[in-house]
Each structure stands twice: as structure tokens, then as C-alpha cells.
Amino acid sequence: TQLLEQSPQFLSIQEGENLTVYCNSSSVFSSLQWYRQEPGEGPVLLVTVVTGGEVKKLKRLTFQFGDARKDSSLHITAAQPGDTGLYLCAGAYGNKLVFGAGTILRVKS
């Protein structure tokens, strides 16, 4: 059974601070996706990383896929209140995704 452990579960920071969310597994995934979810809505894809060691940037967000394709991280620089939400990592295997438990991020102004 593929499992993804996501940490931390909850993060409350001040505007302007940096943060990193981690996603770890003992399983190898063909790709890893990061989603953001707001209350009352479904998850929305932020990025997909496919190659071991890959780094992708999306404005102030930096995503990294581990060399062995078992782990990933999301780093946010100078967090803004608009970054508040639930961040989910999801590993792809076969036709399915396995999701981490999510990180609730609250950015206070």
C-alpha cells in the first residue's frame, strides 16, 4: 500500500515569512502532484513534478521532487494572506493517486 506522509499538519505564520511543506514516502511514484484546496471547493492543481531531482517554480512557490522520486517539498517565499488554504501532495501510481493528509496553512497579516 502506497502511503504519503505530509508534514506539518498545520502551519500558522506571519505575512512575509518563509515556509516549507514536506511529503515523504517509502514508495516510488511516477509523478507527484501538489494541489491547493479552499473551503467549500475541490482541490486545484498547482504543479506536477515527474523527473527525480526536478525543481519547478510558480511565482513565490518552489516545488522539488526527490532524486529517488519518493519525496517532495513545497517552499513558499514571503507568504501572503492569499496563500492561506489546504495544501495536498499526491503521488501517482498506475491509474491512481494517493494523497497525503494535507497541510493547513494560515498566513496572518
> Applying CB under 8 A, which residues contact other proteins?
1, 6, 9, 30-31, 33, 40-45, 48, 50, 88, 90, 92, 95-102
DSSP assignment of 18-48 equals -EEEEEE-SS--SEEEEEEE-TTS--EEEEE
From the list 30, 12, 34, the residue with the least C-alpha distance to 22 is 34
The answer to whether the CB of 31 falls within 8 A of the CB of 23 is no
Alpha-carbon distance of 57 to 78, in angstroms, equals 14
Choose between 39 and 109: whose C-beta lies nearer to other proteins: 39
Choose between 23 and 76: whose C-beta lies nearer to other proteins: 23
Please state whether beta strands 103-108 and 10-14 pair in parallel, antiparallel, or not at all (unpaired).
Answer: parallel
Q: How far is the CB of 26 from other proteins (least distance, A)?
A: 17
Q: How far is the CB of 100 from other proteins (least distance, A)?
A: 6
Choose between 15 and 46: whose C-beta lies nearer to other proteins: 46
Q: How far is the CB of 46 from other proteins (least distance, A)?
A: 9
Q: How far is the CB of 22 from other proteins (least distance, A)?
A: 14
